Amino acid sequence: MVTTSIYLIPLLPLMAFAVNILFGKKVGKQASAISIASSLLSCLCALPLIVAVAGGRRFSGEWLWLNLGIDQLKFGYLIDPLAATLLFVVTIVGTLIQIYSTGYMHGDPRYSRFFAYVSLFMSAMLTLVIANNLVLFFIAWEIMGLCSYLLIGFWFEKDSAANAGLKAFLTTRIGDVCFLIGIFSLFAAIGTLEFAKFEGALKGNSHVLIPVAALLFLCGTIGKSAQFPLHVWLPDAMEGPTPVSALIHAATMVAAGVYLIARTYPVFIASPAIMPVVAIIGTITAFMAAFIALTATDIKRVLAYSTISQLGYMVTALGLGGFTAGTFHLMTHAYFKALLFLGAGSVIHGTGTQDIRNLGGIFGKMKSTAITFLIASLAIAGVPPLSGFWSKDEVLSSAFHSGNMLIYAILLLTAFMTSFYMFRLVFLTFFGKARDHQIHAHESPNSMTVPLWILAVGAALLGLPASPWLHNWFQTFLTAGHAGGEHEINRMVMASSIGVALGGILLAAVMYLWVPALAGIAGKLFRPLYWLSIHKFWIDEIYDVCLIRPFLQIGKILYKFDERAVDGCVNGTGWITLLGGKMHNWCDHYIVDGLVNFVGALTQFLSRVTRRLQTGLIQNYLLIIFLGVLILIYFEMRS
């Protein structure tokens, strides 16, 4: 019974995907009900398992998939405290996002397709969470990459959405290739890819490929979780529907990268030279993204850079040995970030704009959206006793107790910036006077506001398992007595965390509520920093000049090579150019095009032969049988 329920967790959303993608026109608006029901049932299957794991049980199982010579490749499931934590996040948050989507996507011509893609996304993430080995993990990882492409570019009739989907797909592929090579490296080093066997296989093993595998796994996380320098795809992913943004940022895509480090943590512990690299990448990302968010004006892009920054927090904690801190922040972040994105979607739905410069004074007209958004903003800012305070404090404590005061100072400054830009967003959106009187705000329907209130409860209360009142129950649950770099709460760290949170809120109130002119003065006074923030460190432009344009130019050169070669010969530039052009023309015509045309011609020829053999006419079959008998008699007589 238990085994069946575990299999059903990813299988039910997969079945919903199959129904909606194959019979979308017939099911119509019922597509949402199918997807929500499958996700809700997955949640109901997962919750008893989560409770059982909290009580000390573990669940594992496997079956043979392939024989690889003397080795065997087995697929299976592993539900331990880490997997149970992610199941708690993905099933609940994913279900609420889908309920919200029924209101947000109402009237969309591709309604059933949207819910089909979301169900596949959920199925892939749930498979990744319960996978017991890296091969199954990677398969689910790649399916999520496909789903992100399909959902980010869902409104593909807009060039910006189509380009954003392509950018996300290609950028994350860089990390995926590294991750795959890392899997090969680890297998060559320890001879297993099963998570449960990592500690035993790594103990006393000093193989040179182990740190290589850890570094390559980090590259996979950099791509998937949008860490520097591959963070550039995530802000553009805002071109997709807002529920997709919430799903990617809270329950699926970017969480998978952090989960990869946590799941393969024994590999990183066995590679002490790589751990500082993890911490440095996370710290750079956390600070840089928060700095960019200070001047962003699109409500969803502010939240996108916020996600990148918070993911940097998690990666930093894991790099500093704070296994519990990084994982706990991953859980709390999922709830308040989903609430923030769904709240932003409600604002867009109710006002028709996502430019915060055109908003203001809508608190009274959208009270449910405003109150829940405020709760989430307080949580991410780290105001006690909301969830974000406890998880952020755990990360800051990890940095402080690691002895690296520079990282601690940068993360503390990042926390201040987080509080400031979030309440800049809150004050410009919900408070003050309306800046565009053509906007007539209205509250969203219950299908959108009810999930907001449920997520608000999670954003408020989920920090309690790490609070002194429960004696950090989450740490005991997750580590089960193993060392994870954890520590008691430091009062100085806690006080500084509260101080920067309240200081950021106060500064935002002064600049955007009480003395609005200060914002313009600050922009002029710190002009270089302002331009650095508003232009996002010019990283996209650097990529454009150094990578994108050269590759496009190479493609154009190869495409036009024949003409240029002939022109060069006519102009006397040399016979080598002409020879190169002819060779390229010959290869393109006979090798590339010729191979493709041969495959097509061969397929057509074989289909013509097969059609003549399978005509459906009984007399033809009798004739073939008769001729076959005659041939057999002939050869029998010859022998």
For 176, 262, 271, 362, the CA distances from 216, given in Å and listed in that order, are 9, 14, 12, 47
Single-letter residue type at 169:
F
Which H/E stretch holds residue 543? helix 539-543
Q: What is the pLDDT of residue 619?
A: 74
User: Is residue 298 within 8 Å of residue 238, measured between CB atoms?
Assistant: yes
d(CA 137, CA 179) in angstroms, rounded, equals 11
Tokens of 310: 């918070």
User: Is residue 489 within 8 Å of residue 393, measured between CB atoms?
Assistant: yes
Alpha-carbon dihedral 111, 114, 115, 118, rounded to 10 degrees: -170
d(CA 466, CA 395) in angstroms, rounded, equals 12
Tokens of 368: 């449910």
Which H/E stretch holds residue 11? helix 2-22
Angle subtended at Cα 376 by Cα 470 and Cα 310, rounded to the nearest 5 degrees: 80
For 189, 260, 430, 631, 633, the CA distances from 636, given in Å and listed in that order, are 60, 66, 94, 9, 5
d(CA 366, CA 299) in angstroms, rounded, equals 16
The angle, 0 to 180 degrees and rounded to 10, between the axes of the packed helices 405-430 and 387-401 is: 160
Q: State the Rg of the chain over Cα.
A: 28
d(CA 614, CA 609) in angstroms, rounded, equals 9
Q: How many other C-beta atoms lie within 10 A of the C-beta of residue 382?
A: 27
Q: What is the DSSP letter of 298?
A: B
Q: Using alpha carbons, select from 600, 374, 327, 332 the residue that is nearest to residue 505.
A: 374
Specify which residues 67 forms β-bridges with: 72
User: Is residue 258 within 8 Å of residue 221, measured between CB atoms?
Assistant: yes
The dihedral of CA 104, 106, 107, 112: what is its sign?
positive
d(CA 139, CA 316) in angstroms, rounded, equals 26
Tell me the per-residue pLDDT of 1-12, one tens digit each, with 9 for 90 and over: 677 889 999 999
φ/ψ region of 472 (left if φ > 0, alpha if ψ in -120 to 50, else beta) reads left
d(CA 396, CA 388) in angstroms, rounded, equals 12
Q: What ranges make up the beta strands (E) of 231-349?
A: none
Longest Cα–Cα distance in the chain: 109
Residues contacting 196, CB < 8 A, separation 6+: 60, 78, 132
Single-letter residue type at 515:
V
User: Is residue 247 within 8 Å of residue 118, measured between CB atoms?
Assistant: yes
d(CA 628, CA 174) in angstroms, rounded, equals 57
Task: Kindly tell me the number of DSSP H helices and DSSP E strands found in the chain.
Answer: 30, 2
d(CA 497, CA 84) in angstroms, rounded, equals 29
Global confidence as pTM: 0.86
Tokens of 410: 């940068």
Location of structure tokens 């313009």: 520
Q: Using alpha carbons, select from 164, 329, 347 the residue that is nearest to residue 258.
A: 329
Q: What is the pLDDT of residue 618?
A: 77
The angle, 0 to 180 degrees and rounded to 10, between the axes of the packed helices 575-586 and 561-570 is: 150
**Mean pLDDT split into 10-residue runs, the chain, 639 residues:** 85 95 89 95 94 90 78 86 93 94 89 94 95 94 93 91 91 95 95 91 91 96 94 91 88 90 95 96 97 94 95 95 91 93 92 90 92 96 91 91 93 96 95 85 91 94 76 71 54 91 96 90 91 93 90 75 48 46 59 78 81 73 80 76
User: Is residue 126 within 8 Å of residue 9, measured between CB atoms?
Assistant: yes
Q: What is the DSSP letter of 322?
A: -
Single-letter residue type at 596:
V
Q: Label residues 583-610 b or e (16+ Cβ within 10 Å = b).
A: eeeeeeeeeeeeeeeeeeeeeeeeeeee
d(CA 559, CA 486) in angstroms, rounded, equals 58
Specify which residues 298 forms β-bridges with: 355
